[in-house]
Chains A and B, each alone.
Chain A
Amino acid sequence: MPSLPQRKVGIVACSGEEMAEGTVTRLAALRVLEELRPADTVTICLPLFLAGGEGDRAFAKFYPTIAVDGCEKRCAARATELYSNKPAASILLDDVLAERGLPRPQGLRRLTPESQPVVDALAEAIAAEVDHLMASRWSRAEGKVLEASEPARVSSAGCACGSGIPVTRVQVNGRALEIMALDPILEMAYGQGLHVPVNSQAAGASTVPAQLMDTVRLYNTIPTEDDVAYVEAVAIAWQSFCAAKEQAHG
């Protein structure tokens, strides 16, 4: 049975260093991660989106995220959508201040004591959103919360573990291999510009881009002795996926 990342919600805080509101987002995110919802949340490092954090980008692609921003520029929400996927929820500190009638926070390096209730209020708002997302059905293929009556559009079967991650079955030399999250991974790779070379398709050769295989390994534990078979399986699926895409595009 492949081991899968436990279902969690990613929190992306803007952390802007030039304003007290950024400090509040960072401290509130840490409060949720360390105290309020430690079992249900992970941090996603915003700067890593650009600095090559493939794991962070992949997580935000397949799992719900909450963007927490300190100002209207909404760096966390917009950068998450730009580099990975639209956040499942977006919280702006200004909205929390208005709802709770709280004063604007003061202090950069050290928040003033009067600003502590702002951190508490924002942390509570994040935790409430975590609870909402953990109770919702999340489509990793579509990157959004599914409505109660809305069926998943992915044709692959859902995993028996109940995580909602689609499972694709690929036949290799008479053997059926199950690969978690393969469809959305292929979709993401194709969207990133990875394609099967034309001459490779014509020759029927099986090739898999290294970064595609890396992402597959992120979501699947592949026994060493089965590595060749899995690469072959992903190659078959990848070639088929690209051919279907190109046929659809004419």
Chain B
Amino acid sequence: MNVIIVPCSGIGKSYGTVTREAAYLVAEELRPDDTQIVPLSLLVLGDEDAQAAVRDAQVITLDGCKLACATVNVSQAGGAAAREFTVLDCYRRNKQFKPQGIAELNEGGLALARALAEEVAQAAEELTGTERN
């Protein structure tokens, strides 16, 4: 079964962009065979397919700020995040990568997204029990 990745979807700050970039890295490059992004907008709207997806699968949430929209919305949809990641925690572990930019991340932001994606991919591996190809 696929692991569902839910990034925060925020558009006003760099950290939101980092979560989205990290989610794409996991779903498109690092673990394309067993991860899938569910957009937060569908959960907010109460889309039945999106809600079922987060209820029936292992979910990893990526939040950009303390309001934790991704985790909260997954919970509101009846799911439970198996793993919760925040960009700020990842940044604390990788302070050399300072993210800037929203529409386009700077090099630090892209590197931070890569670091976060590696952590998420590792978590997905632990949840599925299958090593990365």
Residues of A within 8 A of B (CB): 13-18, 22, 26-27, 29-31, 34, 43, 45-53, 73, 75-76, 78-79, 82, 108-109
Contact = CB atoms under 8 A, between A and B. Distances in A.
Given A34-B102, A53-B67, 18 more contacts: A15-B39, A15-B41, A16-B41, A17-B9, A34-B103, A46-B40, A46-B41, A46-B44, A47-B8, A47-B10, A50-B44, A50-B69, A51-B69, A51-B73, A75-B44, A76-B41, A79-B45, A82-B45
A27 B68 CA distance: 22
Given A30-B103, A51-B73, A73 B47 contact: yes
A98 to B, nearest CB: 22
Contact of A75 (B24, B41, B72): B41
Contact of A73 (B23, B24, B45, B102): B45
A51 B8 CA distance: 11
B38 interface: yes
A17 B70 CA distance: 13
Contacts of B43: 47, 50
Contacts of A45: 9-12, 69
Contact of A108 (B28, B47, B76): B28
B7 interface: yes
Interface of B: 7-12, 20-21, 23-25, 28, 37-47, 67-70, 72-73, 76, 102-103
Contact of A52 (B9, B12, B37, B67): B67
Contacts of B21: 109
A43 B9 contact: no
A191 to B, nearest CB: 19
B76 to A, nearest CB: 5
A50 B40 CA distance: 10
B37 A18 contact: yes
B11 A30 contact: yes
Contacts of A31: 103
A43 B38 CA distance: 22
Given A45-B10, A46-B9, A108-B24, A17 B37 contact: yes
A50 B76 contact: yes
Contact of B20 (A17, A29, A46): A17
B67 A17 contact: no
A22 B41 contact: yes
A16 B42 contact: yes
Contacts of A18: 37-39
13 contacts: A16-B39, A17-B9, A18-B39, A29-B11, A45-B69, A46-B9, A46-B44, A47-B10, A50-B76, A51-B68, A75-B42, A79-B44, A108-B24
